[in-house]
Structure 1
Amino acid sequence: MIARGLPAKACTSYWPGIVAAALTTTVTVMPGFTVGALGPAIEQDLRVSRTAVGLMISAFYAATALGSPIAKRAAARLPAPVVLAVAAVAACAALLVVSQADDLATMTAALVAGGLSNGLVQPVAGRLIAARVPVRRRSLAAGTIGAALGAATIVPGLLVALVLPVHGWRTAMVAAGLIALVPVLLTPLTRLPPGTSPERVGRGATARGTGGVLVLWALAAALSATGNNAVATYFVQLGTHSGLPATVTGNLLSLSALLAVAVRLAAGALTDRAPHRNPAVIIAMMLTGALGLMMIAIGTPVTFVLGAALAFSAGWGWTGLLLATTLRLVAHQAENAGHTVQIGVYTGATIAPYAFAALSDAFGYAGSALLAATAALAAAASMTAGTLLSRRLGER
């Protein structure tokens, strides 16, 4: 069966393009996670506070969120391969500049530039899925894109475990920058079929009345991302605070990221069988993530490992499903789906690093983790409200 509104050729061999977009998504968000993972070494070398580094990381995500409206327009007009290649090269440049910087101002400027280019990716991904992927495979395709956000912590985790102890944080940052160039060679695979317009793809709901649903879902994404991004950014610090060695925590970060990738792919494949149930699955994931954050707050090695597994796999595993769900709602404007997910996720990610650093200084890691769990519970409530509103609109 072929997605309605798509030519047969557009529905064949779409996976190489989806994988290329996913790899690009991985490297463009990597600067924020890499600086977070290497944060303790940066703080010690430059003699700066944890809050200052957290504010710098927040600037990266803020640039993505604030630049998202412009990125959405660019995604609708420019060739997808060009946009993705520019984003990957910008991520490489940002990481290399950070690796040579001796002050936070230079680092922050580089991260802001990287954050702006990172905002280009999700709208392009939404357009690519709507234009090339059949409806019956869109949850899996969106899950593949969402898995990239989890995969973005794999490299920083390995750098902490393997490169940092021997060569230092600057070399580790250079290695991350070079890795960011890998997807550039694959971006030609993301070409859209000639004559395919994202506005004509799919059925979708009418635009009338969907704005409120998108706002509630974006708010849910922001609240959930606040807690889970804090865990991803400060994973090494939380692990060592719970009694685990830094090298073990770095390896655990990479393993947790692999678990997150597996869960997102599995969730996408399973929900393709009943895509109308995606919102319920997302709500369940957000609630499970809240439980994981509560376990992390206990502060023992065992509860940290279990809590991190839940927070990464479920609490941070809904992004692809949310992209697929919003595509069903506004398939006639596919870039809006990526924009909704992106602005929500990165608004939460903007708040998380600085807020968690400041709160952990005031209330400790346990208190901060509990506040993050509260945000995850509020996210589930907002997602529920948006889902109920979308059902009422569908009944009209």
Structure 2
Amino acid sequence: MVTAAAPRRGRSALVMVLASAITTLGAIPPFLLGAQAVEIREDLGLGLGAFGVAVSVFFATAAVATLSTSGVVDRWGRGWLLMAAGSLVAGGGLAMTLLARGWWSVMLVMVVLGLGNAASQATANLLMARALPPGRRGLGFGVKQSAVPLAIMLGGLAVPTTGALWGWRSTFVITAAAGLVVCAGAVALLVQGRRRRRRRGRSAPASLPELLESPPTLPLVLAALAITFASAAANFVGAFTASWGFEVGLSPSQTGVLMALGSGGSIMVRIFSGWRADHRHGANLPVVATQMGVGALACAGLALGTPWAVWVFGLLVFSIGWSWPGLLLYAVARLGRDNPAQASGAVQAGAFAGGAFGPALLGALSQEAGFPLAWGVAAGCFALAGLLILLSRRRFTADLLRRPPREPFRYARSKVTPSREV
């Protein structure tokens, strides 16, 4: 019994690590920009508003690409998706290194890197959906969604290391090299798949899943709106904490360390939250709302504008205030009935939308009215998102009571239909 379980645990762990690594590679470009904001803005002559637009272009491109290709992703397969992700990340990294000289060139490069992010997310989601058992998906989503704080942490560490030694462009050389490694892995995967098909011959056509019930529309819209507001605030935090820290007296290296420590805390909280979700019978959305509430308080604290406040509340907003994405995605996907991809896709679209307009609007507000007001608006976005999550939970609960699921919800050690699933 032990020998049979061990390979399954090992395979699940490998899938989680691969999904997180691919997602990190796709997500890291805007956070490399954010962590090295002072140097990049001086080198390229970018203002705060233009810098925020660059980050928003990245997320807007990813959102459009995700929505426009959602119907064909499954037909591409993991090999070609991996090839697309690696090629776009490598091409964008090289272009940022060699061609970025001003506003327009940076925007065009961020479009390419945004496409790479969309391909990376699709590849990771495909791995999660096809390779993880139900009792490990909470932990799996926690590990996968740890990719964003991992990207922020790596971006922060790049400032006092690679960036300090060879300049900010060298950090994009590293991402380009990683993209080429992904391309090599994609080639190996495609060759292996072709050999397997030759050995097995022509496979039987796959049976289509029986579509029974769709997720309830209103609570899903509320959840998507919630993550839009929360993602707007969170991505503003990731893109502009370094700039704010520099204004209040921290050195670029200190702000890089701050972002790295906060992101490490967020990774631990996200993984722990996912693990708890697998062992807890529901009640996940109240945890999400609480984490967003902590984000609101921390953003209000950042507005104080002292070095100690940036350290304390910066660590708090990164480690707890931005630890909800994996748990929210897991909870909503479970409530998607027979269409979990539709439910998680709505949430993912909201996340990209928030990432698109948050840095641009709040970055422009920072430039025109100052950072304290922008932090106050970010706090309001977090608070509104938490309220929308609680309202969404009420509607999801009412739908569960009105339409009990055909199959009981699965947990790590049991299979039940709890009355308070959400």
Q: Normalising to structure 2: TM-score of the pair?
A: 0.84
Aligned residues: 387
CA RMSD of aligned residues (A): 2.9
Q: What does the per-residue CA deviation read over 1:12-32, in whole Å, with 9 as the maximum and x for residues that have no partner?
A: 722212211111100101112
Question: Does residue 352 of the first structure (1) align with residue 361 of the second (2)?
Answer: no
Q: Describe the superposition over 1:312-352 as per-residue Cα deviations: whole angstroms up to 9, x where unpaired.
A: 12221111111211220125334334422321111111112
Q: What CA deviation, in whole Å up to 9, does each residue of 1:251-280 have, x standing for no partner?
A: 221121111111111111112111511111
Match of 1:5?
none
Counterpart in the other structure of 2:25: 27
Q: What's the secondary structure of 1:270's corresponding residue?
A: helix
Which of residues 370, 373, 383 is equivalent to 2:379? 373
Q: Which SS does the other structure have where 1:263 is aligned?
A: helix
Query: Which residue in 1 is equivalent to 2:311?
Result: 305
Identify the residue that residue 47 of structure 1 maps to in structure 2.
Answer: 45
Which stretch of the first structure deviates more once superposed, 18-27 or 299-308?
A: 299-308
Q: Which residue of 2 aligns with 1:4?
A: none
Identity score, percent: 27
Q: Which stretch shifts more, 270-279 or 370-379? A: 270-279
The aligned runs of 1:74-93 (5 Å cut-off) are: 74-93=72-91
Q: What's the offset of the Cα at 1:243?
A: 2.2
Paired position in structure 1 for 2:197: none
Q: 1:268 aligns with which of 252, 274, 293?
A: 274
Q: Which residue of structure 2 lines up, in the alignment, with residue 314 of structure 1? A: 320
Deviation at 1:112, TM superposition (A): 0.9
Distance 1:323 1:47, change over 3 A: same
Which structure 1 segments of 5+ residues have no match?
2-8
The one-letter code sitting in structure 2 at the alignment partner of 1:284 is: T
Please, which moves more after superposition, 87-96 or 381-390? Answer: 87-96
Shift of 1:199: 7.3
| Equivalent residue runs for 1:286-297 within 5 Å | 286-297=292-303
The residue aligned with 1:146 is 145
Instruction: Say whether the 8 Å CA contact 1:279–1:387 is kept in structure 2.
Output: yes
Look up the SS of the partner of 2:284 in the other structure: helix
Structure 1 residue 117: Cα displacement: 3.0
8 Å CA contact retained: 2:55, 2:359: yes
Rg larger for: 2
Task: Answer with 105-114 or 282-291: which moved more.
Answer: 105-114
Gaps of 5+ in 2: 2-6, 194-202, 403-422
- CA shift at 1:375, angstroms? 0.4
For residue 77 of structure 2, what is the amino acid of its counterpart?
A: P
In the alignment, the residues of structure 1 paired with residue 128 and residue 139 of structure 2 have an alpha-carbon distance, to the nearest angstrom, of 10
* Contact 2:227/2:351, CA 8 A, preserved across alignment: yes
1:253 to 1:341, Cα distance in 2 relative to 1, 3 A? same
State the match for 1:131 in structure 2: 130
Deviations 1:215-250 (A, max 9, x none): 211111110111111111112112122322111111
Q: Distance in 2 between matches of 1:338 and 1:265?
A: 19
Judged with a 3 Å threshold, the aligned counterparts in structure 2 of structure 1 residues 23 and 109 are, in CA distance, closer, same or farther, namely same
Confirm or deny that 1:385 pairs with 2:391.
Answer: yes
Secondary structure of 2:279 counterpart: coil
TM-score by structure 1 length?
0.89
> Which whole-Å CA distance do the structure 2 matches of 1:81 and 1:327 have between them?
25
Structure 2 letter corresponding to 1:139: G
